[in-house]
Structure 1
């Protein structure tokens, strides 16, 4: 007899250098100090604003915990025992319920160290082994080639480009679309 997987609240994923775990209430006070920067907001949707304060941190926690383990798999990422960022997936809806869209971000102090590649690769493994998701999708902005490299290193293939559809703070760029089957 096989045992059921642990509830999502008890899920901890390890990479070579990181711990990925569900978001906790205690993270709310820590988030603004790493998340409130234009550099992160520049590469994320408007749901991740600048400035990023305690109300935004509380909203992120509510979102991450609503449907956790069923339709939402959002992990806080720790590096060296410190909160460093986030990585997760959200199930598609309707005829795309067998897919999920992933997203990730790191505090600026953690950029350029290969951490994002580690956490995305570990998320892919988790989604493959522990969920019923069959395909992952990810997007990144044309002005963020580092994010495109992270996705490619994690086995995603570029499937398309939507020209000029991203507009942030008066600047326009392309939206790069990536996909990865999980089989």
Structure 2
């Protein structure tokens, strides 16, 4: 899959490419973006982090990591990672979007498209996403994309010196 053009606001999902690093840093190096992401998402987000990500993103076998672009500029990222062992029919969805593009409906459309790509291209029946408590925007995106709240994992997250619950959203197709 090279790229997918969405019908909304000229957004394109595509593979990562050399040259994406500057815009990746521009939008990823933001405390508001990192606030609800795992600590593995670098903070601060440096040019070196961007180079490493672009190098890594297209090499994985059991995942899709796509750049969210607008007017050829990377404004966010979305990925689906297949799980292993007894979880091999499941995949985890993760995403982020540059703060200046929030509340425009972009991510809801991107997630809907990624759900279709995941179910078409992986032998999975279950796609799930973790949401930290307080990330209301992400819960709205997932619900609009057809996900349902499956569970709340109490105090599952420890970030920035605080415990938070983790919400598990899921969409199942059998």
Q: Give how far 1:98 is off.
A: 1.6
> After TM superposition, which residue ranges in structure 1, 4 or more long, deviate above 4 angstroms?
none
**Structure 1 residue aligned with 2:85:** 94
Q: What does the per-residue CA deviation read over 1:26-70, in whole Å, with 9 as the maximum and x for residues that have no partner? A: 112321111101111111001112110012112322331222xx4
Provide structure 2 residue ranges, at least 5 long, that are not aligned to the other structure. none
- 3-state SS, counterpart of residue 104 of structure 1: strand
8 Å CA contact retained: 1:41, 1:50: yes
TM-score, normalised to structure 1's length?
Answer: 0.88
Alpha-carbon distance between aligned partners in 1 of 2:84 and 2:116, rounded to the nearest angstrom? 22
Q: Give how far 1:104 is off.
A: 0.6
Alpha-carbon distance between aligned partners in 2 of 1:55 and 1:41, rounded to the nearest angstrom? 17
Q: Give how far 1:152 is off.
A: 0.8
Provide structure 1 residue ranges, at least 5 long, that are not aligned to the other structure. 1-7
Alignment of structure 1 residues 149-164 onto 2, 5 Å: 149-164=140-155
**Structure 1 residue aligned with 2:173:** 182
Q: Figure out how many residues of one structure are paired with residues of the other and give that number.
A: 172
- RMSD of equivalent CA atoms: 1.4
8 Å CA contact retained: 1:14, 1:122: no
**Structure 1 residue aligned with 2:49:** 56
- 3-state SS, counterpart of residue 29 of structure 1: helix
Alpha-carbon distance between aligned partners in 2 of 1:54 and 1:96, rounded to the nearest angstrom? 34
